[in-house]
Amino acid sequence: LSQTFENLELVLEIPDPDTASGGFGISLNCGDVNGDEHSDIVVGRVSGSIEGKIYIYLGGPGFDNSPDVTLIGESYSGYGHPVAVGDINGDGYDDVIAGRPLTVKIYLGGDPMDSISDVELFEPSEDDVGFSGSVACGDLNNDGYDDYIVGAYGTNNYVGRVYIYFGGSEPDTIPDVILNGEEVSNFGTRLASGQDVNGDGYEDLFVTAIIYGPYQGKTYIYYGGDPMDTIPDVEMYGTRPFDFFGETISLIPDLENDGYDEAAVGEPLDATHDTVFTYFGGDPMDENIDAIFLGEEQSYYGYTFCGAKISSISQFQDFVVGAPRYGSPEDPNTPEGEVYLYIGGDPVDIEYDAKVAGADAQKIGGTVASGDIDGDRIDKIIFSNYFTDYTLKKVWVCKYTGTGIEEESEPDSTVVRLIKTYPNPFNDYTKIEYQLGGYVSVSLKVYDVSGRLVKTLVNCRQTPGLYSVRWDGKDERNNMVSVGVYFCELKVERSKGQKVKRTRKLVCLGH
């Protein structure tokens, strides 16, 4: 039997490179570890009697299913899950953060990237049971370095704790912020970061306390800041005992295009319907549910989900959900799994726009991810079947083939995303990436901390799309600027008078 694709097309199958039994695909991430501006796929593989492994498949025009880098852990260690990806030292290469019991190994990206860990974290205190049970990455203090975040759900007799380590040019092993649970709740069971739900320019942190209630579940959002405090800003609760609210969580890009990213919480083990609750960001953000995505009972719908961007023109971000235990109506007791794609919009539509249905007890959708693997500015949908017991474990890469997303009558020029600056901090140059949703007047300027104009990089009208602008660290007179902090300001103005401004900090380390 073969899989069934609806508005999706298979691009590539990646088989398990190892013939021994193991959970190939138990973790899936995307990031640019070699700095070539293509997303790379990072696949974790856990095994019992042999070493766990993390395989990295480099993206690009020649993308294939042979691993380019293999990171190897110890036998019986659980190495390969959890895994997070982000640029913690600001060199323009994403790094791999790999958890194993009581230890976190960090591998710095590069061109080429090697397989030797560069930083290792150990449990800060003797009672940190579950340290490294969850990891995440995001720039919480907006200093240009992604921060690495580690959960220790069993600390203090399973109250739980989360350690935040600020990134820097020389990443260290001393936590900068410590968050503690409020009762026996496994605080820190799941972590998510990398998005900004209240639109203040700081990425935020999402934390689960899965046994709160009992097993009702509770989640917390901590706004990033400089300094960042330890008081949760938004709290969401499960409604009934043993709902396992927060079994999965994610911060996802802006689905309805209002300038705020979203939070999603899964209840894949719900006794009635497996559910994903979505909370729209705002300033301030509240704890009210804004959209509910429902799956079939006992399908594990929402066991994994992620954001995606499947159009280079649409201003809306998109959403992918896996249901690895879904059984077909013809044979509901044989879990084949399904993966669903929801295209963002205003309002958000909770009916799927594309899906893949597994076959022959594959249990697809145990993990999902997305990334622009081939450089066409469109994310590919990536999923695994590590859940399966009977078929070969693989990772699949698909592209969206549906219609309608390119046909917006009037792009909204207020869609402005200052995506990233890299490398940042920088020595010789930095690149500034931004996205426009309409034909608009654009200015991109660099200022010093006093507000004095240093350099005008862009001052013209531009069409919708993704742009990358290089600043070589020189001012208007072609002189090198001094070491210090600067700000790039992106301004967009439309003929109707609509104006949008985005600002990002730049750190010059010298030339």
pTM of the model: 0.79
Residue type, 299: S
Residue 379 has pLDDT above 60, yes or no: yes
The predicted model gives 47-72 an average pLDDT of 93
Residue type, 404: G
Whole-number pLDDT of residue 271? 67
E-strand ranges in 119-159 read 119-122, 131-138, 147-152
Whole-number pLDDT of residue 409? 34
SS3 category, 214: helix
* Domain segments of the chain as ranges: 4-400, 416-508
Select 4-400's CATH number: 1.10.10.10, 2.130.10.130, 3.40.190.10, 1.10.3720.10. Answer: 2.130.10.130
Whether 12 contacts 63, CB under 8 Å: yes
Whole-number pLDDT of residue 498? 59
The predicted model gives 182-199 an average pLDDT of 96
d(CA 464, CA 474): 28
Rg (CA), the chain: 22
Provide the pLDDT confidence category of residue 414 given band limits of 50, 70 and 90.
very low
Whole-number pLDDT of residue 345? 87
End-to-end CA distance of the chain: 60
d(CA 133, CA 153): 7
Q: Is the dihedral of CA 140, 145, 151, 156 positive or negative?
A: negative
CATH topology identical between 4-400 and 416-508: no
Q: What is the pLDDT of residues 87-116, one digit of tens each?
A: 999 999 999 999 988 999 999 999 999 999
d(CA 341, CA 353): 6
CATH architecture assignment, domain 416-508: Sandwich (2.60)
- For 218, phi then psi, to 5°, come to -150, 145
Provide the pLDDT confidence category of residue 415 given band limits of 50, 70 and 90.
low
Whole-number pLDDT of residue 272? 66
Mean pLDDT lowest among 87-101, 146-160, 287-301, 494-508:
494-508
Residue 331 has pLDDT above 90, yes or no: no
Q: Which residues pair with 491 in a beta bridge?
A: 443, 501
Residue 266 has pLDDT above 60, yes or no: yes
d(CA 33, CA 94): 4
Whether 275 contacts 295, CB under 8 Å: yes
Residue 405 has pLDDT above 60, yes or no: no
Q: Is the dihedral of CA 228, 229, 230, 236 positive or negative?
A: negative
Going by DSSP bridges, is the β-strand pair 327-328/331-335 parallel, antiparallel, or unpaired? antiparallel
Residue 423 has pLDDT above 70, yes or no: yes
